[in-house]
Chain A
Amino acid sequence: MTITKDIIKRLNKILGDKSVLVSRTDLMSFSYDATSNWQGMPEIVLFPTDIKQISEVLALANENSIPVTVRGAGTNLSGGSIPVSGGIVLCTSRMNRIIEIDAVNFTATVEAGVVLNDFNMELAKQNLFFPPDPQSYLAATMGGCVAENSGGPYGLKYGVFKHYLLGMKAVLATGEIVSLGAKTIKNVTGYDLPLLICGSEGTLAVVAQATIKLLPMPEARQTVLAVFNDVITANAAVSKILSRGVRPAKAELIDNWIIRRIEEAAPLGLPVDAEAILLFELDGAVETVSMEAAKVVELCFNAGATDVREAKDKKEADNFWTARRMGFSAIYGNAPTALAEDVTVPMDKLPELMERIKRIGEKNDVMIVTMGHAGDGNLHPCILTDKKNPEHYARAQKSTQEIFDAALELNGVISGEHGIGLEKRRYLKNAMPPEAIELLKKIKTVFDPRGILNPGKIWE
């Protein structure tokens, strides 16, 4: 027990007792995230409401070497927000003010706990657009997304969180409050520190506020659905489309098993007999969109699609995208344990990766289902298993390892968007040269000399 009665008293004084949880039942619900195989109990949960409180908490924690794990909504898929070393969970969900939406400069400043969907709804009122769209946007917080450098289907055309991050207010492990970056689109003043913290999974600093850039809302959008006889042809089709100069905003792949589970849960009009489908969204000016949509239809047919059609109206398009968003749930809801991987390879290697994943599943006799952002080479092969069945679980883990090896051999990476956290830390040494890992560790020491921020994550 690192947290003494005296420390609890001091924390109560900083935050007020309504913002401090200590009962076992309350702590329990901050011990997990969206993965199905990790859990760790915090000793205390804190809900700061402003940056000053965060600063005082960190100063106290640092002084007493108490681990601090930041948590937004706890929707990450890597074990990132799980307090494996106990200590404090610092939950940002009550810091949820949108501080500024600047429609003239196309920027916004938000507190860390603002939920991405709530932010998008405010933007829509002003015809503004913030593209990064992790499929957990209904719950995920802006701070969590910065810390995970999240992205989603729009990544293909628009990039991910880091491409929009201009600046932030952060609190260092020692309690200092720092302003990093600026509100300008261009900025080369020293090292790009906001970018360093982006994707650092809560190990370098606590993000209290983020300033991001915005885009105008595209004038028009069109969704295209293409059906394929096998997953590999579907993946190859995406490459062909991109090489012809068409750049869809999204190009998503869903395989047959997942299509069926989605349709069982809620019929949304996906073709259940399709081995694989690709979902595209084209956006931009009205004329461009209709021209590009026609081109995608033609190119898909050329690439071997058995059926291709444009969504007939907004409602059908919304249904298709809802179905896509249901993907993860369809998987987790239908297997006791699911290992959702996040490998990413250069676009042209995608068909080969798919081929190898198929063989890995057959060889180890495990079910591997796949969906993902086919357009940017980021796949989510999910291995269906059961943690309570050690023999099966071992084969599932072996398959994970082999999928990682395959991705690395194809010049890819082991995580495209979910981060390393706990889930992938034992693979880090295969994915990064030792010198680079040393560099990570040195950077960590500079930011967090006592190692209190999210200890135990990223490397072993």
Chain B
Amino acid sequence: MITPQMKIDPDRCMKCGFCMSVCPVYHVDHIENHVARGRNVLLRMVRDNELTIEDDYRECLYSCLLCRRCDAVCPANLSPADITLEARNDVVEKKGMSWIQKIIYWGILNRRSLVARFVGLAGLIPGLSSKGGRPLHHLADMASFIPGVLSLPRMSLRPLRKRVSMVTSPPPDVKERGQVAFFPGCIFEFFLPDVGEDTVNSLAKAGFSVVFPEGLNCCGLSVHNAGDFKTSCLLASRNIEALEPYDHVITGCATCGSALKDYHKWFREGDPMAEKAREFSKKVSDFSEFLVKNGFNGGSADHCPTTVTYHDPCHLRLHQGVYLEPREILNSIEGIKYLEMDNADACCGLGGSFSIAHREVSLGIQDKKMESLKKSGAQAVVTSCPGCMLYLAHGIRRYKLPMKVMHISRLTR
């Protein structure tokens, strides 16, 4: 029996190198301490006091996308991504965070829209934002913007909350089949509210009355991935609480979805929240997963491109195992032709703050994606994650491809 403890025991890594065969980061830079195998060795050495937590050890810890491709191939049945996360937490606990991280995380906890506004404004400040630069994935990515240069889509003047009502009912000609709670996530809420609207409307069109609950927070994944488990668990608790009254929680953001479904792993063994989170995660579905489970019946989409391809977000395919559903949806919509591209499941390169802290590698990963997109010949690339959308759009601009980026709910609304 492989226990959860064994899955994060770096001693069990036998340096077979299989993780190197799938790691997007290693494929670009070939530096071994940027992949699970090398990182495990360093971790052991730090633990055994053969190495200190110097800056470049930190750098190795944060040069992982936490995409979990290695989890899937590791023959020792380790979870190298979880090993890395634990090590990040260890560094945060021992060394603390930078002041900027502290401010941002405080902001995310207490004044989310203010932080969003600040991030949005920051995106407009010359020098901080550049036209072809990098968009932000999460508010927490702010934490790492200082040395780099970043750009964002302009923060929407009317966030999602101001655009959709507390409850969106199915259109009059559609019979109501039940109620769901919608979890928007920061990007939909503040930066791409029109896509958030599409998701809400699609769910309503499918016969669900969609509640936009009060009191939701950032999903917390960026904070968690940065190693600050305390703050992330607080965010998780608040979200679980706010969503308590609902039986179904749907999100159109692959990243938020993977966080919500994983909340139970965030709390330590014995924490009473762990059990609650486990129950909670059962009611979370990704948007496409939910639609297909409830018998999505196709339909036609007007004003849509005729040929589309699909990009698998790591957070959906690898973290949630959802990849057939979006394709099923795309294949059943009248008037569009679905083209599967090569390496549809290859990472877009964003990886949250990774794209800022490790710009060159991130662009190297993006290069590969862009080549596949180009080869696909599709008029639009559809995906299920607003983070991927921003980064794909960035790549498409960089490569000048004649292609649109869409969230899947644009075609089902």
C-alpha spacing A26/B73, complex, angstroms = 24
* A26 and B31 contact, Cβ closer than 8 Å, known pairs A32-B15, A328-B16: yes
B111 partner residues in chain A, CB cutoff 8 A: none
Contact A28 B76 (CB under 8 A): no
**A73 interfacial contact with B, CB 8 Å:** yes
Most buried by B among A74, A140, A325: A74
Contact B31 A139 (CB under 8 A): no
**B51 interfacial contact with A, CB 8 Å:** yes
C-alpha spacing A32/B31, complex, angstroms = 14
C-alpha spacing A117/B16, complex, angstroms = 14
A16 partner residues in chain B, CB cutoff 8 A: none
Interface size on B, residues (CB 8 A): 31
A47 partner residues in chain B, CB cutoff 8 A: 30
Q: Taking chain B's interface residues, is the majority helix, strand, or loop, or is none over half, making it mixed?
A: helix
Contact B75 A28 (CB under 8 A): no
* A138 and B21 contact, Cβ closer than 8 Å, known pairs A25-B54, A333-B75: yes
Contact A264 B41 (CB under 8 A): no
**A256 interfacial contact with B, CB 8 Å:** no
Contact B33 A325 (CB under 8 A): no
A323 to chain B, nearest CB (A): 10
* A28 and B41 contact, Cβ closer than 8 Å, known pairs A47-B30, A328-B16: yes
* A138 and B76 contact, Cβ closer than 8 Å, known pairs A28-B41, A264-B2, A265-B2: no
Contact B77 A266 (CB under 8 A): yes
**A33 interfacial contact with B, CB 8 Å:** yes
* CB 8 Å contact bits of B1-40 with A (1 = contact, 0 = none): 1100000000110111110110000000011110001100
Contact A117 B56 (CB under 8 A): no
Contact A138 B18 (CB under 8 A): yes
Nearest to A334 among chain B residues (CB) is B12
* CB 8 Å contact bits of B40-66 with A (1 = contact, 0 = none): 011001000001001011011000000
Contact of A26 among B14, B37, B56 (CB under 8 A): B56
B410 to chain A, nearest CB (A): 34
B11 partner residues in chain A, CB cutoff 8 A: 336
**A459 interfacial contact with B, CB 8 Å:** no
Contact A333 B76 (CB under 8 A): yes
**A75 interfacial contact with B, CB 8 Å:** yes
B75 partner residues in chain A, CB cutoff 8 A: 265, 325-326, 328-330, 333
Contact B76 A265 (CB under 8 A): yes
* CB 8 Å contact bits of A319-355 with B (1 = contact, 0 = none): 0000001101111111010100000000000000000
Q: Which residues 341-380 of A sit at the B interface, judged by CB distance below 8 A?
A: none
Contact A265 B77 (CB under 8 A): yes
C-alpha spacing A26/B51, complex, angstroms = 12
Contact A25 B60 (CB under 8 A): yes
Contact of B32 among A23, A30, A326 (CB under 8 A): A30
B78 partner residues in chain A, CB cutoff 8 A: 333
**A8 interfacial contact with B, CB 8 Å:** no
**A94 interfacial contact with B, CB 8 Å:** yes
* CB 8 Å contact bits of A1-44 with B (1 = contact, 0 = none): 00000000000000000000101111011101110100000000
Nearest to A326 among chain B residues (CB) is B75
C-alpha spacing A74/B18, complex, angstroms = 11
B37 partner residues in chain A, CB cutoff 8 A: 29
A329 partner residues in chain B, CB cutoff 8 A: 14, 16, 18, 75-76
**A136 interfacial contact with B, CB 8 Å:** yes
* A75 and B21 contact, Cβ closer than 8 Å, known pairs A25-B42, A329-B75: no
**A279 interfacial contact with B, CB 8 Å:** no
* CB 8 Å contact bits of A109-128 with B (1 = contact, 0 = none): 00000010100000000000
Contact of A117 among B12, B21, B59, B76 (CB under 8 A): B21
C-alpha spacing A266/B78, complex, angstroms = 12
C-alpha spacing A264/B75, complex, angstroms = 11
Nearest to A35 among chain B residues (CB) is B15
Contact B14 A34 (CB under 8 A): yes
Contact B41 A29 (CB under 8 A): yes
Contact of A139 among B20, B59, B77 (CB under 8 A): B20
C-alpha spacing A24/B54, complex, angstroms = 10
* CB 8 Å contact bits of A254-284 with B (1 = contact, 0 = none): 0000000000111000000000000000000
**A91 interfacial contact with B, CB 8 Å:** yes
B384 to chain A, nearest CB (A): 27
Q: List 27 A-B contacts (CB under 8 A).
A: A23-B56, A24-B56, A25-B51, A25-B54, A25-B56, A25-B57, A26-B56, A29-B37, A34-B14, A34-B15, A34-B16, A47-B30, A74-B32, A136-B17, A138-B17, A139-B16, A265-B76, A265-B77, A325-B75, A328-B16, A329-B14, A330-B75, A332-B76, A333-B75, A333-B77, A333-B78, A338-B14
Chain B positions within 8 Å of A, measured between CB atoms, are 1-2, 11-12, 14-18, 20-21, 30-33, 37-38, 41-42, 45, 51, 54, 56-57, 59-60, 73, 75-78
If A29-B31, A29-B41 are given as contacts, then 17 extra A-B residue pairs at C-beta distance below 8 Å, sorted by A number, are A24-B51, A26-B56, A28-B33, A29-B38, A29-B42, A47-B30, A74-B32, A94-B30, A138-B17, A264-B1, A325-B75, A329-B14, A329-B18, A329-B75, A333-B12, A333-B76, A333-B77
